[in-house]
Amino acid sequence: MPSDFAEWESGPQAARGLFAAYPSGVVTFGAVIDGVDVLMLASSFTVGVSYDPPMCSVAIQKSSTTWPTLARAPRLGVSALSSAHAGSVRRLGSRDPRNRTADVSLARSPGGAVFLEDATAWFECVPVRELDAGDHTVVLLEVVGGSNAGTTPPLILHRGVVHATAEIVLD
């Protein structure tokens, strides 16, 4: 492969396997809503969507029940999961929102965004625009603040399994 195009897969059935083969970071979106810390896990967060102004994006399932709650917040916290969160990913992705925060330490910004401690990087975002995309909605987010001072390396999701990263030293 890929020369063997006879084995090319296509359609919604094949999409899950195809997409899982592409590596991605993992984030939580978080905000204080009615006094409660609300977190949601996402693997489609993308940085560098624009540099001026700084913008990111995320694709949200139209069936998501947490996103409509989070979208009421003026500021959303985005935390890039690090290797410190390897054992917490499953719980962060719990169906019941009340179970998601059990394993992690949280921080709250003055604007009500909720972040994970021990993350690799943090972004404070404001949703600005949406684009219809099949069974998802692409949400554009303006980055109003953040920090890249995390010292723990990022977590990577690949073929459904969490991975750590190691620098490749080139000759």
Of 39, 76, 104, 119, the one binding its own copies (CB under 8 A) is 119
CA distance 90 to 61: 18
Closest CA to 50 of 121, 125, 115, 122: 125
Which residues lie below 8 Å from residue 75, measured CB to CB, with a gap of 6+? Answer: 31, 109, 111, 112, 113, 124, 125, 126, 144
The answer to whether residue 63 forms part of the interface with its own copies (CB under 8 A) is no
The answer to whether residue 102 forms part of the interface with its own copies (CB under 8 A) is no
The answer to whether residue 19 forms part of the interface with its own copies (CB under 8 A) is yes
The answer to whether residue 122 forms part of the interface with its own copies (CB under 8 A) is yes
Of 25, 38, 75, 125, the one binding its own copies (CB under 8 A) is 25
For its own copies, which stretch binds (CB under 8 A), given 32-40, 66-74, 93-101, 125-133?
125-133
Residue 59, token pair as written in the block: 């694709």
Q: ∠ CA(126), CA(127), CA(133), 5° rounding?
A: 155
Binding mask 77-96 for its own copies (x = CB under 8 A): x-xx--x--xx---------
- Give the residue carrying structure tokens 């020369």: 3
The answer to whether residue 134 forms part of the interface with its own copies (CB under 8 A) is yes
| Subset of 41-60 contacting its own copies (CB under 8 A) | 43-55, 57, 59
Kind plus residue range of the DSSP H or E element containing 90: helix 89-92
The answer to whether residue 150 forms part of the interface with its own copies (CB under 8 A) is yes
The answer to whether residue 76 forms part of the interface with its own copies (CB under 8 A) is no
